[in-house]
Chains A and B, each alone.
Chain A
Amino acid sequence: MSYEHLIVERHGPVGWLINDRPEVRNAMNSAMRDEFAEAWTELDNDPAVRVIVHTGNGRDFQTGVDVGEVASDGVGMERYRQSMEDFDVHFTSWHQGVWKPVITAVNGICCGGGFHWVADSDLVIAASDAQFFDPHTSVGQVVAIEAIGLMKKMPVEAVMRMAFMGRHERMGAERAYELGMISEIVDPPERLRERAQELGETVARNSPAAMAATKKALWGALETGLTDACKQGARHLVSMWGHPDQAEGPLAFAERRDPDWQPL
């Protein structure tokens, strides 16, 4: 499929999903939202793609919903409201049930709805000039879903502070790293994509099936308490028993070669 507002590329085992509305700082209009659903599924269904990197073209990563467009095209706002009320949304990898590893590479500003992709991915790295803030409350909007996602993954005070400070305060990459919201700062910022590709290729050396089951166990654990999460985790763990990768892994290790994994 061809996309108007996203770029989908493949570099070796790494699929790339690139926000491509740089003239509006990659804000998401209705068409882009539909394209996200399509693009995640396309990359998830491609057996050659083992890891997905998500970043933005231009200066900024993503700045949430394109309110101007959504409010003025006659149908966008109503459709948007309804999908949120029903939590029937499809624009992140988590929404789309993508079980391949997803790396978010934050360039420049990530604000408001941009946090959806930070909250919903497995690895998050950022350029040293990245900035994070959540302007919803400064423009009379409620922030909920993306902040809830973040709260489950990092210290809550930092998330509440961003939600309440709105556009009047920004968090830099360094603080995001300290808090564990991101795991790596790339400096100089121009190296961001190169580093994301490197990380993607490293993750791609691991068993696709084992990583998918691991993702299910870990993301499932956010839905429940510790003991129940472990019991559900056991089901995902056992699901790999008898899989060819479980023999191939130790064999390749013993023979000092790269494993030949089964595609997902």
Chain B
Amino acid sequence: MTYETLEVRVEGPVGWLVFNRPEAGNAVDARMFVELEAAWAELENDHQVRAIVNTGNGHSFQTGLDVRQLANDPEALRASSRQTRDFALRMTSWHCGVTKPVIAAVNGTCAGGGLHFVADADIVIAADDATFLDPHVSVGQVSAFETIGLLKKVPMESVTRMALMGAHERLDAERARQLGLVSEVVGAGELRDRAQTLALRLAEHDPERLRAVKQALWSALESP
């Protein structure tokens, strides 16, 4: 598949899925909505790929659905509405059933729906200028999936605070590290190198073992 909104490439055993709408904060438009599912499938099915890094081009990691663009594309809007209503989204590695380890490397702003990709990754690292916020309630929207995913993984008060403060407060990278939302903060210029290094380490492990561990641990989140 030829991608317009993503960069998908393979560097050694590491697959890269890079959001590539920097002019729009990497927001998910109708095209990216479709391309994400294809990209995860491509990397999952590529036998050379043993670990996947997910990051963004430009100043933002990911800023959620591009509501304005979707509003101009009734068919895409209907599809995304249906997937939302039925919780049948196909945006993240978790939605798409990816069994390989996924590292999110958060550059710059991660807002709203961008938190999906943090909640659904196995390992999360961030640039020191990364910030996290959830503006949904400030524009009359409900925050559900991405914050539910986060509250299963980090102290809940930080999640309810982020959800209820909306656009009016950001969590910085260092606090995200303290809370365990991310495990490592590096200089912005070193983020991709560090992600590649981590991914290469993961790639040394037996893929079948990693798959089994990933499945076991994510299954544990399915109990109350």
Residues of A within 8 A of B (CB): 101, 122-124, 152-155, 178-183, 202-203, 205-207, 209-211, 213-215, 217-218, 221-231, 233-234, 236-241, 243, 245-250, 253, 259, 261
Contact = CB atoms under 8 A, between A and B. Distances in A.
A101 B165 CA distance: 10
B137 A179 contact: no
B142 A217 contact: yes
Contact of A210 (B137, B157, B168): B137
A205 B138 CA distance: 7
Nearest to A208: B137
B138 A234 contact: no
B148 interface: yes
Contact of B139 (A213, A231, A250): A250
A123 B141 CA distance: 20
A228 B222 CA distance: 8
Contacts of A217: 142-144, 147-148
Contacts of B165: 202-203, 206
Contacts of B158: 180, 183
14 contacts: A123-B164, A124-B157, A153-B156, A183-B157, A183-B161, A202-B169, A205-B168, A218-B147, A218-B163, A221-B148, A221-B151, A223-B224, A230-B144, A240-B142
Given A224-B224, A245-B140, A230 B161 contact: no
A237 B224 contact: no
Contacts of A238: 84-85
A210 B140 contact: yes
Given A154-B157, A236-B142, 19 more contacts: A122-B157, A122-B160, A122-B164, A123-B157, A153-B157, A180-B155, A202-B169, A207-B140, A217-B147, A218-B143, A221-B151, A225-B222, A227-B87, A230-B145, A233-B144, A237-B84, A237-B145, A240-B142, A248-B140
A41 to B, nearest CB: 21
B145 A225 contact: no
B137 A155 contact: no
Given A152-B156, A154-B155, A214-B144, A207 B161 contact: no
B150 to A, nearest CB: 9
A207 B138 contact: yes
Given A202-B168, A246-B141, A230 B179 contact: no
Given A205-B168, A230-B87, A234-B85, A123 B140 contact: no
